[in-house]
Amino acid sequence: MKSDWFPMKVPEIDILVFPPFEGFPREAISFLRRLKRNNNRRWFNNHKVEYILFVKQPM
């Protein structure tokens, strides 16, 4: 019996929904360097907004 599911055609992902990764902004590199010097939870929690804006979101 032939399955309608195989071979399954995968729809193309719209580039507007998932734009290509273009690298991290300078602020991310600065954040990561400071994190290397201050690798502790307290420092990170005080700078978490920077992490979200400059490291996590661009990915």
Residue-wise pLDDT tens digits, 6-47: 666 666 655 566 677 788 999 999 999 999 999 999 999 999
Please tell me whether residue 40 adopts helix, strand or coil conformation. Answer: coil
Whether the pLDDT of residue 58 is over 90: the answer is no
Phi, psi of 23 (to 5 degrees): 100, 170
pLDDT of residue 16: 60
Sign of torsion, CA 54 24 59 15?
Answer: positive
